[in-house]
Structure 1
Amino acid sequence: MNFLVVFLGTVSLWQIILIVAVVLLMFGGKKIPELMRGFGSGIKEFKNASKDEQNKDQSK
């Protein structure tokens, strides 16, 4: 969390609303669920890979 505050500064509600509006304009409402599904599966794969690495390190 501290990294995000340093990297982005303080993000206000209006900035978040603006970002969401721009994303909706660029991709449209029907494409957003597909993008989020892909993003979620990418995070899931990353977590599984990191767990595998931790298990591999512990077994040595």
Structure 2
Amino acid sequence: MAVIEGAQKRPFVLEADPVGTELAGQADIGDLAVSRATGTVFTNTGTLATPSWTVVGTQA
């Protein structure tokens, strides 16, 4: 059984919504971040060097 690289990643749990390039050098494209303050889930649509955080779907 093959292991898919990156399949074991866990989301970053933050105290607030991610701002700007927060987690630069840590969060790669497609990684998730969850805000404890709002419960909102974000995905990195940028790069490892320059993250850009986008809300996943339509969350209430």
Structure 1 or 2, whichever has the larger Rg, is: 1
Larger RCO (CA under 8 A, 6+ residues apart): 2
> Which structure shows the higher helix fraction?
1
- Both structures adopt the same fold (TM-score exceeding 0.5): no
Q: TM-score range by the shorter chain?
A: under 0.3
Q: Point out the structure with the larger strand share.
A: 2
TM-score normalized with structure 2 length: 0.21
